[in-house]
């Protein structure tokens, strides 16, 4: 009897999407399969569904964001949810309100989903312990950005058919990047081989233990890669000197057409945006539709977020 | 009235005894006679007889690092709650930290806390004052005047003197006054914004880590200075294997100093933080299992002299925040002995060694007449059942704040009775 009780207790708890680390491979594939069904819909002229009709979605953004926030905004609306976006900036903090206070206030309004972005790692985990609704992580500190990794995976699958057996290079500011971490976990889970490439000062300690090979030389790191994921140099997270100069960084770690040739012939380029053109990526390369998947990433982002909202809101 | 404690196993490292016997306490609350040769018939006929039922008696524990909220943080802890928690843990002497509001860095504050402690606490209190005014690391406190008023030693608590020149002057000045300087070893620049050990766990949690170099570099610096300016110098808490190597090298070179470790760093490692358990956000941080094991080894080799509780009460609001923003520290004075006994039960350390680090060693460093049950000393005694199993429940702990790092931990060994100056001040 006791076990039966336990199961029902779990069922009543809302499920959260806090990170790829908490996902099973079945859950990840489930989201990706679900997302595929939305790609076509998003390209059609009538994009509205009523799957989430009557549900309330709050986008709680403590950090500025353009694409992630608008992507979640659209995703919710296309599924028929009532979406409210709140840009917290520093306003709540200035008034002395803690994350928990804000969460409790919003919780009292009975939302069904809270999508949160926060500058502190672990903030979505904390939030999920205190509210009665589903929490979806839209990026926390330098820890995880699960929907970005899922949309990256969907983009790759869309082009290459499969992720298993591919070799993927993630290059740039790995240390400060939640996108890198989520992608490392997800690509590994889906059977890819992952290389990370960064100057030593931007490489997290013990990164190999996450299941990657670490390189400081782009020549070696890009060798034989099918996908090259460039990361933004996160100047706003850098306190103190990590690099001598942007010029030197571009020289050694910026992606140019020449360096891309070190990877496989049909290698494709990805970037989570926003890009620092001329810092981590050659500007022409970024716009080259033959190799760059950047626009597709943004497009499929909406589909992935629709899938997450649908699956986690039930 | 005289008391006779019978049927007791006495462990007192200061006299190198571990034997079954009796203890007689005279009417002034001093040890009159102790040991296997002490017979119940040695006590006066009127003596109160207390049967300790085969439990172990050790000198009352001396905790070299605890925070009492008064003044300024009474909502976290006060003298009354701290002393209740201490006595329930067999701790009878406490060195209190000066990071109160206002900071204990002048004589009028010392008078206040000594008076307040005397009135409200049923435990021996040894207040520490700040090494530098306002704990700012700029200007020395009045060591001489403060010492005259009864300050036991000086500590900037979890702050470190960064300025090397100032540190050298502090040592130089303190040596003349024979005052104890207790340093928290952490380089600020290396530790900037950090909240956890640097390594895989920090990388996974996306938190700013701090390497043990931040600790080691200050210890190396201070021990170099100490060779020029010998003074009574104590490293509050170390956390890593690499720090121990430096300590070992310097001890073998004849440099004299002492070292402490928090029970947390002996009982937990960084993996226990799990998914952002802020009660395990500590300073120095929990490090790897390898570090933890080496600290135990450090105690075995006498490189570490003292185990402290690092009792740091924090209210829920300060802890219910994202990890990076949450307050640092956990309570621990009540669980200090039971957690230490875990190291005996899992065969890490001998009972004698553990008790030494909790009693006579800190007393010697502090130069106080405590931590011993020698004839004539104050009858501060901790009586515990070595085997009794129990589980830590935060709400059952006596501290005003409930931020224990070992919630739900199953422990073996429980304090049954605490004596202060011969009086029973705690029993269960």
Q: For an interface test with B, which of A62, A101, A121 has the most B Cβ atoms less than 10 Å from its Cβ? A: A121
Supply the mean pLDDT for chain A.
91
Nearest C-alpha neighbor of B267 from the set B370, B346, B383: B346
* Whole-number pLDDT of residue A96: 72
Mean pLDDT in residue range A98-123? 93
Start-to-end CA span in chain B (Å):
22
Instruction: Enter the tokens of residue B294.
Output: 């080496």
Residues 201-260 of B with CB under 8 A from A: 202-207, 209, 211
Q: Contacts of residue A126 in chain B, CB cutoff 8 Å?
A: 276, 320-322
pLDDT in tens, B234-271: 999 999 999 999 999 999 999 999 999 999 999 999 99
Mean pLDDT in residue range B384-391? 98
Nearest C-alpha neighbor of A130 from the set A116, A143, A141: A116
Cβ of A205 within 8 Å of Cβ of B205? The answer is no
d(CA B73, CA B67): 10
Give the pLDDT band (50/70/90) at residue A296. Answer: very high
Residues 270-289 of B with CB under 8 A from A: 275-276
**Helix or strand (DSSP H, E) at B147:** helix B143-148
For B174, list phi and psi in degrees, rounded to 5.
-65, -30
Q: Contacts of residue B198 in chain A, CB cutoff 8 Å?
A: 205
% residues pLDDT > 90 (chain B): 99
Q: For an interface test with A, which of B192, B273, B322, B325 has the most A Cβ atoms less than 10 Å from its Cβ? A: B322
* Whole-number pLDDT of residue A5: 41
Say if A100 is an interface residue toward chain B (CB within 8 Å).
yes
d(CA B312, CA B282): 9
Mean pLDDT in residue range B21-29? 96
pLDDT at B77 exceeding the cut of 60: yes
Q: In terms of C-beta density within 10 A (0-12 exposed, 13-18 middle, 19 or more buried), how is residue A280 classed?
A: buried
Give the pLDDT band (50/70/90) at residue A2. Answer: very low
Considering only CB atoms, B205 lies closest to which of A122, A207, A240, namely A122
Mean pLDDT in residue range A277-297? 94
Considering only CB atoms, B321 lies closest to which of A98, A140, A240, namely A98
Q: How many CB pairs under 8 A join A and B?
A: 71
- Out of A17-26, A48-57, A230-239, B143-152, pick the least confident: A230-239
Instruction: Enter the tokens of residue A304.
Output: 């992935």
* Whole-number pLDDT of residue A238: 64
Cβ of A126 within 8 Å of Cβ of B207? The answer is no
Mean pLDDT in residue range B190-219? 97
pLDDT at A1 exceeding the cut of 60: no
Q: Between the CA of residue A10 and those of A226, A310, B197, what are the distances in Å?
A: 41, 19, 33
* Whole-number pLDDT of residue A14: 65
pLDDT at A4 exceeding the cut of 50: no
* Whole-number pLDDT of residue A12: 43
Q: In terms of C-beta density within 10 A (0-12 exposed, 13-18 middle, 19 or more buried), how is residue B343 classed?
A: buried
C-beta separation of B307 from B336 below 8 A: yes
According to DSSP, residue A232 is labeled: -
Q: Contacts of residue B274 in chain A, CB cutoff 8 Å?
A: none
pLDDT in tens, A79-93: 999 999 988 876 656
Q: Which ranges of B149-282 would DSSP assign to H, the alpha helix?
A: 164-177, 188-191, 200-205, 213-228, 241-252, 263-267
- Out of A94-103, B99-108, B191-200, B275-284, pick the least confident: A94-103
pLDDT at B165 exceeding the cut of 80: yes
pLDDT at B228 exceeding the cut of 60: yes
Block residue for tokens 């640097």: B198
pLDDT at A10 exceeding the cut of 50: no
Cβ of B202 within 8 Å of Cβ of A205? The answer is yes
| Nearest residue in A to B200, CA atom | A206
Nearest C-alpha neighbor of B131 from the set B108, B97, B93, B102: B97
* Whole-number pLDDT of residue A92: 59
CA distance A139 to chain B (A): 11
Q: Contacts of residue B206 in chain A, CB cutoff 8 Å?
A: 121-122, 140-144, 178, 181
C-beta separation of A280 from A254 below 8 A: yes
* Whole-number pLDDT of residue A241: 85
Start-to-end CA span in chain A (Å):
26
How many Cβ atoms sit within 10 Å of the Cβ of residue B94? 29
Cβ of B199 within 8 Å of Cβ of A206? The answer is yes
pLDDT in tens, A41-68: 999 999 999 999 999 999 999 998 989 9
d(CA B169, CA A53): 71
User: CA quadruple A109, A113, A116, A122: dihedral positive or negative?
Assistant: positive
User: CA quadruple B115, B117, B122, B128: dihedral positive or negative?
Assistant: negative
Q: Between the CA of residue B208 and those of A19, A314, B15, B193, B200, what are the distances in Å?
A: 18, 35, 47, 6, 11
Say if A145 is an interface residue toward chain B (CB within 8 Å).
no
* Whether residue B212 lies in the annotated active site: no
CA angle B340/B346/B347 to nearest 5° reads: 95
Say if B299 is an interface residue toward chain A (CB within 8 Å).
no
pLDDT at B59 exceeding the cut of 50: yes
Mean pLDDT in residue range B166-192? 96
pLDDT at A262 exceeding the cut of 90: yes
pLDDT at A273 exceeding the cut of 50: yes
Q: Contacts of residue B271 in chain A, CB cutoff 8 Å?
A: none
CA distance B406 to chain A (A): 20
* Whole-number pLDDT of residue A245: 87
Considering only CB atoms, B206 lies closest to which of A100, A142, A240, namely A142
Check residues B252 and A245 and name the one with the higher pLDDT. Answer: B252
Supply the mean pLDDT for chain B.
97
% residues pLDDT > 70 (chain B): 100
C-beta separation of B202 from B229 below 8 A: no
Block residue for tokens 């926060």: A118
Instruction: Check B310, B378, B380, B385 and give the catalytic one.
Output: B310
Give the pLDDT band (50/70/90) at residue A239. Answer: low
Say if A122 is an interface residue toward chain B (CB within 8 Å).
yes
Q: For an interface test with B, which of A206, A208, A241 has the most B Cβ atoms less than 10 Å from its Cβ? A: A206
How many Cβ atoms sit within 10 Å of the Cβ of residue B385? 20
Considering only CB atoms, A121 lies closest to which of B200, B320, B324, namely B324
* β-bridge partners, B129: B154
pLDDT at B173 exceeding the cut of 70: yes
Q: Which ranges of B54-126 would DSSP assign to H, the alpha helix?
A: 79-88, 107-120
* Whole-number pLDDT of residue A68: 96
Block residue for tokens 């979640």: A72
Considering only CB atoms, B276 lies closest to which of A126, A144, A210, namely A126
pLDDT in tens, B400-426: 999 999 999 999 999 999 999 999 999
pTM, entire model? 0.93
Cβ of B203 within 8 Å of Cβ of A123? The answer is no
Instruction: Enter the tokens of residue B419.
Output: 């004596």
According to DSSP, residue A52 is labeled: T
Block residue for tokens 């300590």: B247
CA distance B200 to chain A (A): 5
Say if B317 is an interface residue toward chain A (CB within 8 Å).
yes
Say if B200 is an interface residue toward chain A (CB within 8 Å).
yes
Give the pLDDT band (50/70/90) at residue A7. Answer: very low
Cβ of B203 within 8 Å of Cβ of A126? The answer is no
d(CA A88, CA A200): 34
Cβ of A121 within 8 Å of Cβ of B204? The answer is no
Cβ of B206 within 8 Å of Cβ of A143? The answer is yes
Cβ of B206 within 8 Å of Cβ of A141? The answer is yes
% residues pLDDT > 70 (chain A): 92
């Amino acid at each position: 009897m006791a076990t039966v009780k336990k199961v029902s207790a779990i069922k009543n708890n809302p499920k959260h999407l806090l990170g790829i680390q908490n996902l099973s491979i079945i859950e990840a594939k489930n989201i990706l399969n679900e997302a595929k069904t939305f790609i076509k819909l998003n390209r059609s002229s009538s994009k509205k569904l009523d799957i989430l009709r009557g549900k309330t979605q709050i986008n709680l953004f403590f950090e500025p964001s353009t694409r992630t926030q608008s992507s979640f905004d659209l995703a919710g609306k296309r599924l028929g949810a009532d979406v409210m976006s709140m840009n917290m900036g520093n306003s709540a903090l200035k008034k002395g309100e803690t994350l928990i206070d804000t969460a409790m206030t919003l919780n009292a309004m009975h939302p069904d989903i809270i999508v949160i972005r926060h500058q502190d790692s672990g903030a979505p985990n904390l939030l999920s312990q205190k509210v009665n609704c589903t929490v979806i992580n839209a990026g926390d500190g330098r820890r995880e950005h699960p929907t970005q990794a899922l949309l990256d995976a969907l983009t790759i699958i869309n082009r290459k058919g499969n992720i298993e057996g591919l070799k993927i290079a993630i290059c740039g500011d790995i240390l400060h990047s939640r996108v890198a971490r989520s992608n490392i976990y997800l690509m590994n889970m889906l059977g890819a081989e992952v290389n990370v490439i960064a100057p030593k000062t931007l490489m997290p300690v013990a990164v190999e233990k996450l299941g990657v090979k670490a390189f400081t030389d782009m020549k070696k790191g890009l060798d034989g890669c099918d996908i090259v994921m460039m990361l933004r140099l996160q100047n706003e997270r850098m306190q103190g000197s990590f690099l001598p100069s942007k010029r030197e960084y571009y020289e050694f770690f910026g992606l140019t057409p020449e360096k891309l040739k070190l990877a496989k012939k049909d290698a494709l380029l990805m970037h989570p945006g926003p890009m620092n053109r001329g810092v981590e990526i050659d500007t022409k390369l970024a716009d080259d539709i033959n190799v760059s998947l950047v626009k597709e990433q943004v497009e499929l982002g909406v589909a992935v977020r629709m899938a997450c909202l649908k699956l986690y809101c039930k | 009235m005289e008391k006779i404690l019978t049927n007791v196993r006495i462990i007192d490292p200061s006299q190198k005894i571990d034997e079954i016997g009796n203890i007689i306490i005279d009417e002034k609350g001093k040890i009159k006679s102790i040991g296997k040769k002490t017979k119940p018939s040695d006590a006066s006929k009127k003596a109160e007889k207390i049967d300790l039922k085969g439990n172990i008696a050790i000198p009352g524990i001396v905790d070299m690092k605890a925070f009492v909220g008064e003044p300024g943080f009474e909502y976290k802890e006060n003298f009354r709650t701290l002393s209740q928690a201490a006595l329930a843990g067999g701790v009878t002497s406490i060195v209190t930290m000066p990071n109160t509001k206002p900071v204990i860095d002048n004589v009028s504050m010392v008078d206040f806390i000594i008076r307040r402690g005397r009135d409200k606490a049923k435990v021996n209190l040894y207040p520490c004052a700040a090494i530098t005014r306002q704990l700012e690391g700029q200007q020395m406190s009045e060591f001489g005047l403060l010492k005259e008023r009864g300050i036991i030693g000086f500590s900037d608590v979890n702050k470190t003197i960064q300025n090397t020149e100032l540190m050298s002057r502090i040592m130089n000045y303190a040596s003349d006054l024979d005052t104890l300087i207790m340093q928290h070893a952490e380089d600020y620049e290396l530790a900037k914004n950090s909240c956890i050990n640097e390594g895989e766990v920090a990388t996974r949690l996306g938190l700013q880590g701090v390497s043990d170099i931040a600790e080691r570099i200050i210890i190396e610096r201070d021990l170099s200075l100490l060779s020029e300016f010998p003074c009574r110098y104590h490293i509050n808490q170390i956390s890593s294997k690499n720090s121990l190597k430096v300590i070992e090298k310097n001890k073998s070179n004849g440099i004299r100093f002492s070292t402490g470790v928090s029970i947390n760093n002996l009982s937990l490692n960084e993996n226990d933080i799990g998914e952002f358990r802020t009660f395990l956000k500590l300073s120095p941080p929990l490090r790897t299992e390898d570090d933890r094991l080496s600290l135990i080894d450090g105690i075995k080799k006498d490189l570490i002299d003292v185990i402290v509780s690092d009792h740091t009460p924090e209210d829920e609001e300060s802890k219910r925040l994202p990890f990076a923003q949450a307050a640092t520290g956990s309570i621990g004075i009540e669980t200090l002995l039971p957690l230490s006994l875990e190291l005996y039960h899992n065969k890490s350390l001998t009972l004698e060694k553990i008790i030494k680090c909790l009693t006579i060693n800190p007393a010697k460093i502090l130069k106080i007449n405590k931590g011993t049950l020698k004839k004539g000393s104050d009858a501060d005694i901790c009586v515990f059942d070595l085997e009794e199993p129990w589980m830590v429940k935060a709400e059952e702990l006596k501290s005003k704040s409930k931020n224990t790092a070992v919630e739900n931990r199953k422990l073996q060994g429980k304090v049954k009775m605490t004596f202060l100056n011969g009086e029973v001040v705690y029993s269960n």
